A and B are shown apart, each in its own frame.
Chain A
Amino acid sequence: MALAIWLIYLTLLIRAGITGHLKTYFAWNAWLQFGLCLLIFTVRGTEVERSIDQHFGDWPVTMLIKNTVFLVWFGLHADLLWRVGATTYWKGLTRAVFVIGAVLIVGSVSLYSTQPVDNREDARDLVVALREIILLIPAFTTLLPGTVSLYRAETIQQMRWRLGLAALCYGVLYPVLAVSNIIVGAVVLTGIDIAEPIKQALSTYLSIGVVLLVILFLPYRHTRIIYLLWLWIRYLRLRHIERRVYRLSGFDAKQTIVTPWESVWSISKLEMATYAVAINILDYYPLIKDKKVRLGDLAVLDRPFSLDDEFSRLIDELLRIRL
């Protein structure tokens, strides 16, 4: 699985390089984040760590690299969110955490390296737990609030989904992983032997995060089928409301301007069909206002509009009609 994901990553990266998309700091920041996540995924587990460390005289180089990569990844993402103004809260604290975290991570790995190779497991769990305690701070002070803020502001649906997935990673997947690792560390200190089952469960869990990560970086055309499906569901729900509005208003259904069945694969035609239905509802809705119909707050749509970002918001509001 890791090999396949690396191939996808390298293909996309080479394509970006060939087309001149790797010339700025912003480009490297975005691509590095993806690559660092993959690196963490690739060297996960004690077996992999040991096999790599053997080549370095059993010095825990893999652990050091992995922990540093975690810190750099979070730092790059925090920097992105600060630069775009997605969040400004706790900026000073978060920066301090990165600096102190770097010192603690290097220090803890150095201590860990002094342990005998055959008896490192417990020490390893403690180092990982320390790393998670450090990283949870920027995750909650910057990464999660910043990503959620972008998610709320975003109106292009395909990007909104990606930001939603990123928020899920920082708000649910990572905290669960981190807290589990911290529990494993705490268990080591108490001497109760339940660490192994937790670790095995986490290995599978990490794979879910990586699959989400790949989706985040896939070009829109590869997720087009999901987008079309989403548009279709909204269109059909809206058609249902339209029919009910017609029935209640006592008018015959108007002939639909665009026939959506002819445009199964066309996003723009499907959007037009949805638009036509939305206009019909808005035309006829006032006639049934007094028939105990509940409608969303359309007053939010007070900006000039032309099938752009507010279109999706209008449809959201119309879909709230309860008949």
Chain B
Amino acid sequence: MGRDLQSVIRAINDLEFDFADFDIERFVRHVAHRRSRTILLNAVMLDEGITGLCASGPIHDYIFYKRDTPALHQTHIILHEIGHIVLNHAPTSLDFGDLTVDAIVRQLRNLSRLTLTPDIEWEAEQFAFQVQARCAANRQRRMPVTSIGAILPYTTPLMLDR
């Protein structure tokens, strides 16, 4: 399997998400709703060199992401892992039973070393970037004049955005 940007773009389009008002929690809820499965997000401590892991269980999809990194990075990692899930890269039908989070993470880490190829990683990374690119494009179209709502009545008449 080679690198397939078109399938990534198709997967994002198929989600029919409104990127005009993006936030990661809403996006996760939307993807979960589309897949009729819950997505469980877990911020965990991960070994250096690993930023996120994912898996599809019988009922839930699991995403584990690095706890000790800025929110921007966490958002990117979650998007990357969602990319794996919607592009069907994630290991499926895993039953974690009563395993602790640490044990699940250990199991997934070993599994990911065997199953994740550079092409698969590239596609998931593309998914994250394409999602953020759509958010950026929307943001550019809106082009807010100021981030301070209180001064909008003053700045709007000046038409600085025109």
Contact = CB atoms under 8 A, between A and B. Distances in A.
A282 B69 CA distance: 8
Contacts of A156: 144-147
A141 interface: no
Interface string B120-162: 0000011001001101110110011111101101111111111
Interface string B21-64: 01111000000000000000000000011010000000000000
Contacts of A302: 70-71
B154 A84 contact: yes
A80 interface: yes
Contacts of A113: none
B112 interface: no
A43 to B, nearest CB: 24
A19 to B, nearest CB: 7
B133 A314 contact: no
A298 interface: yes
Contact of B132 (A158, A159, A267, A275): A275
Contacts of A106: none
Interface string A277-310: 0110011001101000000001001111111111
Contact of B51 (A218, A257, A283, A303): A283
B71 A304 contact: yes
B161 A287 contact: no
A84 B160 contact: no
B114 interface: no
Interface residues of B, number: 42
Contacts of B140: 267-268
Contacts of B133: 258, 268, 272
A150 interface: yes
Specify the main secondary structure of chain A where it touches its partner: helix
A16 B71 contact: no
Interface stretch (B72-80, B90-98, B99-107): B72-80
Interface in A199-230: 217-221
Contacts of A314: 70, 72
A307 B139 contact: yes
A217 B157 CA distance: 11
A24 B156 CA distance: 11
B158 A16 contact: yes
Given A21-B157, A306-B23, A307-B139, A159 B145 contact: yes
B129 A272 contact: yes
Given A84-B148, A303-B71, A24 B153 contact: yes
B157 A22 contact: yes
B155 A159 contact: yes
Interface stretch (A25-33, A57-65, A182-190): A25-33
28 contacts: A12-B159, A19-B159, A22-B157, A30-B157, A83-B150, A84-B154, A150-B151, A153-B147, A162-B160, A220-B143, A220-B160, A220-B161, A267-B140, A268-B139, A272-B129, A272-B136, A275-B129, A279-B73, A279-B76, A282-B72, A283-B73, A286-B48, A286-B49, A287-B49, A301-B72, A303-B71, A305-B72, A307-B136
A276 interface: yes
A85 interface: yes
A217 B153 CA distance: 15
Contacts of A22: 157
Nearest to B153: A26
B161 A276 contact: no
A322 interface: no
